Amino acid sequence: MFLTVTANPSVDRTVEVDRLTRGDLHRASGVHVQPGGKGINVARALVRNGCKARAVVPAGGAEGDQLIGLLTGYSIEVVRVAALGPVRSNITIVEPDATVTKLNEAGARLSGPELEAFCDAVLAHMPGVDWVVAAGSLPPGVPDTFYADLISRLAPSGAKVAVDTSGPALLAAVEAGPTLVKPNLEELAEAVDRPLRTLREVVDAAGELRSRGAEAVLASLGGQGAVLVDGEGSWHAEARAEARSSVGAGDALLAGFLSTGGIGPSALATGVAWGAAAVSLPGSTMPGPEDVRAHRVVVHPDIEWDRRIDV
Ligand SMILES: Nc1ncnc2c1ncn2[C@@H]1O[C@H](COP(=O)(O)OP(=O)(O)O)[C@@H](O)[C@H]1O
Ligand SMILES: O=P(O)(O)OC[C@H]1O[C@](O)(COP(=O)(O)O)[C@@H](O)[C@@H]1O
């Protein structure tokens, strides 16, 4: 059983336009309204592929009702925590060449008691949980140490913890010793405070996060796949895809990786297959078994160390 923690959920609107021009009126050619927030997407991907997932989520206001309503179509065990502020709406504009422009709201403030109730709900729903996935940005009112504190509070449960976040929250989480972190290239570069231009630099940066406390690092590289660095070694895998919308691709990658044990190159291959499948689907649609093309994945037997990364 997987438990996902989404402190800052969203209702995601993906709007398709022919071409985005700043200042112009655009008539949308398509729109997708989907439950969002990284932990929620991970849960959606897991259940689409037959895994069991429980999603703990603070959800206030009419938008919170809408989010919970959107989630009823999935086989996710949803644990709703009451909150006063409304769930945010995130808008993504997608062009036919799969260029995405994202407008993510900060989210409503969580008060101290609401945050405590949220943590209590996570801890109360731990029985039977093997993996906790704590993912996404933190809304106003939630300290940067939230994920780090959660990792410490979850330690007695023995569950493994994967964290997908950015900035100071990622840095603090790494120090708390998570089983896995999943930065994308930009987030990894920010965490080590230097640009990353080659696979060697990506692997070195991932190694640095390991030396600071993370057991394993799954670094996503957009169209160039993903790199896994753990105590056993480092691997690079990638897969071709006809890109349509990259929203949620990172969440699909993480879900795929965890679905097959969350360790080693075979889990990396599954993650990359799910990530590539996700980009070929509209909006933040999570891939099911019929969408996944495992045969397209190449796990490189030797990393091409000097290969340039351009995401
Ligand atoms: N254009 C693409 N072609 C093939 N696979 C892709 C493409 N973009 C993303 N992916 C897959 O999705 C994963 C996550 O994408 P990425 O953009 O790095 O993550 P995030 O959404 O977290 O920023 C990648 O590791 C890769 O497996
Ligand atoms: O919490 P953040 O960083 O604002 O991100 C939330 C957004 O990320 C998503 O989960 C998509 O994530 P990825 O594209 O990184 O996989 C959207 O559903 C959501 O709107």
Residue 94 contacts residue 16 (beta carbons within 8 Å): yes
Q: How does pLDDT run along the chain (311 residues), one tens digit per residue?
A: 999 999 999 999 999 999 999 999 999 999 999 999 999 999 999 999 999 999 999 999 999 999 999 999 899 999 999 999 999 999 999 999 999 999 999 999 999 999 999 999 999 999 999 999 999 999 999 999 999 999 999 999 999 999 999 999 999 999 999 999 999 999 999 999 999 999 999 999 999 999 999 999 999 999 999 999 999 999 999 999 999 999 999 999 999 999 999 999 999 999 999 999 999 999 999 999 999 999 999 999 899 999 999 87
Closest ligand to residue 92's CA:
2
**Residue 251 annotated among the catalytic residues of the structure:** yes
Task: Decide: 303 and 194 in contact? Cβ < 8 Å.
Answer: no
- 222: CA distance to ligand 2 center in Å? 14
Conformation bin of residue 300: beta by default, left when phi > 0, alpha when psi is -120 to 50? beta
Give, to the nearest 10 degrees, the angle between helix 249-259 and helix 38-48. Answer: 50
Query: For the chain, what are the domain ranges?
Result: 2-299
The pTM of this model reads 0.97
| Phi, psi dihedral angles at 39 (to 5 degrees) | -65, -40
Q: Which residues, 6+ apart, have CB-to-CB distance to 21 below 8 Å?
A: none
Lining residues, ligand 2, CB within 6 Å: 8, 10, 12, 36-38, 41, 90, 104, 136-137, 247-251, 284
Complex ipTM tops 0.90? yes
Out of 164, 230, 251, 291, pick the active-site residue: 251
For 135, the enclosing helix (H) or strand (E) is: strand 131-135
Instruction: Mention the CATH class of domain 2-299.
Output: alpha beta
Ligand nearest to the CA of 292: 1
Q: Which amino acid is at 16?
A: E
